[in-house]
Amino acid sequence: MAGWQSGHAADCKSVYAGSIPASASIFAMFRFFLRLYFKIQDYTLKFLSTGATYRDPNTILVFRMASLGDFLSSIPALKKIRKNFPNSKIVLIYSISLRQQYENLSPEDYPWLDFIEEFVDEIILLEGKTFLEKIRKLRKSLELHRKKYTFIFLRYANMPFYNQLLNIIFFRLTGIFLRINGAGIRSNNNIFQRYQSKNMKIEHNCEGPVNSLEKIIDASDLEIEAKDFCIEKEFIFRDYFQKELSKITENEIKVAIFAGSKLPHKRWPVDKFIRLLKEITKKNSVKFILFGMESDIEISNKIYHSLPDHTIDFTGRTSIVDTYNILLECDLCIGNDGGSMHLASVAQCPAIAIMNGINYRNFVNPYHSADLCVYSNFYNKACHNYTTSGNCNAKYCNQVSCRKHFNNSINAISVNDVLLKFDLFRSKY
């Protein structure tokens, strides 16, 4: 019997070796080294983050860097912290970036902070002209919380190793020597992007902050649901907007339109927006509500004058809170990728987000409306720096000609592509 087994094993080995192409072996080796690469980074960060922790802390210090869209994506994480530690004082240390200079800040400078008031008890704004000045000011602010506290670093999704390392050094220099919960590598947005994206290794924007809690809350509570974006706070609904919305009849579908964007590679052409809205009005009774910044007024004017009987134009007149209140009343939101799409998540308004081909799929889209997102297949080569900020650092990149592709990627999305998503919305919602 033993002899039969050993002979069979030898035959199997020969068949196995002869049937696997060299490319498969190379790919398996590539996957092994990729995992090893991430594991080394992950263990390094966790080693540097080690320290004491408390199960029932008096105070929880939460550090988060983000602007509008990314910050709203952290609402599920903040909500879970409050749920699991109802008796703890939660202090949010907030900044948009460690590298940028900020002085004389107040919460009014960041209106999106209003959306997390029910989850935190205090907000410390991180400001200073230099890195060292920020360290000094934060050390002074933290003197009130020196005793029994837990520290949580709500990291970005797919945050690179060196960015996390910089943050850990910053925390240690400010006098935080307890465990830094949240640091670690699950995926990485600056290496092997296409492989990770194809194999669904990329974290969604709101999964990064939630996964930062894996050591301090139950694994069953790490799941994200649409309701995790909801807030209970009610904002004042200004009379002017209520009056304008009251003119919309009950049988009309209320659709919010965000046709502008600060970044050209995220801005779907206005003539396509006009054609899309005209196609929608052929089969549906609908009222379009136009939003945007003052820089988007020209775009909204073109849409309004093309469909004056079907549009209400609020462009340049709404605050973030006003936009949120109106989205609560809307049935659908259609717009370019940006913070407004994530605001729709908070308002529980289905969103058709028009994404370009340089995004990681299922990374920055509205979490609750992934099936309604429209992607371009024109270029489809993710570049995180360009996607988020429009920066092209050709000094460290061989794709010097990609700027043209980036700007053309959004243009490759057809009116019919978006119209199909509207039909899906009508059938599903």
Name residue 81's amino acid: I
Q: Domain ranges in the chain?
A: 47-229, 239-428
Provide the β-strand partners of residue 102: 128
Looking at residue 204, what DSSP letter applies?
P
Q: How many helices (H) and strands (E) does the chain have?
A: 16, 10
Give the DSSP per-residue string, 296-317.
Answer: GHHHHHHHHHHSTTSEEE-TTT
Same fold, 47-229 and 239-428: yes
Nearest to 134 by CA among 65, 72, 182: 65
Architecture of domain 47-229: 3-Layer(aba) Sandwich (3.40)
Looking at residue 313, what DSSP letter applies?
E
CATH T-level assignment (fold) for domain 239-428: Rossmann fold (3.40.50)
β-strand 122-125 against 149-153: which pairing, if any?
Answer: unpaired
Give the DSSP per-residue string, 47-102.
Answer: HHT-----SS-SEEEEEEE--HHHHHTTHHHHHHHHHH-TTSEEEEEEES-SSS-B
Q: What is the pTM of this model?
A: 0.84
Largest CA distance in the chain: 89
How confident is the prediction along the chain (429 residues), in pLDDT tens digits per residue?
A: 334 333 433 444 343 344 445 566 877 787 787 778 778 888 899 899 998 777 667 889 999 988 888 899 999 999 999 999 998 999 999 988 776 656 666 677 788 999 999 999 999 988 887 888 888 888 888 876 666 788 999 998 888 888 899 999 999 998 888 899 998 877 665 555 556 666 666 788 899 999 999 988 998 899 998 889 999 999 999 999 999 999 999 999 999 999 999 888 889 999 999 999 999 999 999 999 999 999 999 999 999 999 999 999 999 999 999 999 999 999 999 999 989 999 999 999 999 999 876 656 778 889 889 899 998 877 556 555 555 555 555 454 555 555 666 677 888 899 999 999 999 999 987
Strands, sheet with 180-181, edge to edge from the N-terminal-most edge strand? 122-125, 89-95, 59-65, 149-153, 180-181
Kindly state the helix (H) or strand (E) to which residue 34 belongs, with its residue range.
helix 22-48
3-state secondary structure of 181: strand
